[in-house]
Amino acid sequence: MFSKESLYINAIKFSNQLKVNYKKLNNDEIIETNSSTFIATDDILGRDIATKLNNHASEINNTYISTLLIADDTILLRKKEVKLRDYVVTSLNNDYNIAVSKNTLFETRNYFEKCGIDYIFSAYHILNLHIEQNPCNNNLVVLLFNNQAFCIVVNDSGQIIYNKRFTLTAFEDIKQSKFYENEVLGQKLYDEVYALELEELVKNIIEEFYKQGKNIFIEKVSLLYNIRYLTEAQISQMSSDLMIDLTYHPISVDEELYELSKSTHSNKSFIRPRPKPTNTFRNMLITLVIFLFLFTVSLFILPYNKWLGIEKKIEKVEEKKVEKIKEIILPNHIKSNSIIEFKALEALETIPYDVVLREFILDRNNIILDVDMLKKDTFIKVIKPELKKSYENVDIKFKEENIILKALIKANKYHKEMKGNTFKNYKDVYISNEFMPIIAVTEQLKILFPTNTIINFKSSSKDKFNTFNYLINLVVKSPLEFFKLIDTLNNELYSINITYPVNFIKTEAGIEIEFTLQFNQPI
Backbone angles phi, psi at 80, to 5 degrees: -85, -10
Q: Last residue of a domain, which of 268, 294, 320? A: 268
Q: What is the 3-state secondary structure (H, E, C) of 230-259?
A: CCHHHHHHHHHHHCCEEEEEECCHHHHHHH
**Residue-range definition of the domain harbouring residue 394:** 333-521
Asked whether residue 42 is domain-assigned, the answer is yes
CA distance 215 to 505: 60
Q: Are residues 255 and 385 in the same domain?
A: no
Residue ranges with strand state E in 14-157: 17-26, 29-39, 63-68, 75-78, 87-91, 96-101, 119-121, 139-145, 148-154
* Sheet-wide strand order for 87-91: 75-78, 96-101, 87-91
The pLDDT, as a whole number, for residue 306 is 47
Q: Are residues 355 and 244 in the same domain?
A: no
Q: Are residues 231 and 366 in the same domain?
A: no
In degrees, to the nearest 5, what angle opens at C-alpha 143 toward C-alphas 49 and 173?
65
Q: Find the CATH number of the domain harbouring 47.
A: 3.30.420.40
The pLDDT, as a whole number, for residue 421 is 47
Asked whether residue 283 is domain-assigned, the answer is no
Beta bridge partners of 220: 139, 245
The pLDDT, as a whole number, for residue 412 is 94
Q: Are residues 361 and 436 in the same domain?
A: yes
Asked whether residue 149 is domain-assigned, the answer is yes
18-66 pLDDT, tens digit per residue, is 999 999 998 888 888 888 888 888 888 888 888 889 888 888 888 999 9
In degrees, to the nearest 5, what angle opens at C-alpha 197 toward C-alphas 193 and 201?
175
Q: Are residues 259 and 360 in the same domain?
A: no
Into how many domains does the chain fold? Answer: 2
Q: Are residues 243 and 378 in the same domain?
A: no
Q: Last residue of a domain, which of 217, 248, 268? A: 268
CA distance 366 to 356: 20
Sites in the chain below the pLDDT cut of 50: 1-2, 304-326, 421, 427
- Work out the number of other CB atoms within 10 angstroms of the CB of residue 28: 9
Asked whether residue 488 is domain-assigned, the answer is yes
Asked whether residue 282 is domain-assigned, the answer is no
Q: Are residues 243 and 372 in the same domain?
A: no
Q: Are residues 86 and 180 in the same domain?
A: yes
Asked whether residue 297 is domain-assigned, the answer is no
pTM, to two decimals: 0.59
Asked whether residue 298 is domain-assigned, the answer is no
Asked whether residue 309 is domain-assigned, the answer is no
Q: Last residue of a domain, which of 218, 240, 268? A: 268
The pLDDT, as a whole number, for residue 430 is 57
Q: Are 66 and 260 in contact (CB under 8 A)?
A: yes
Q: Are residues 262 and 362 in the same domain?
A: no
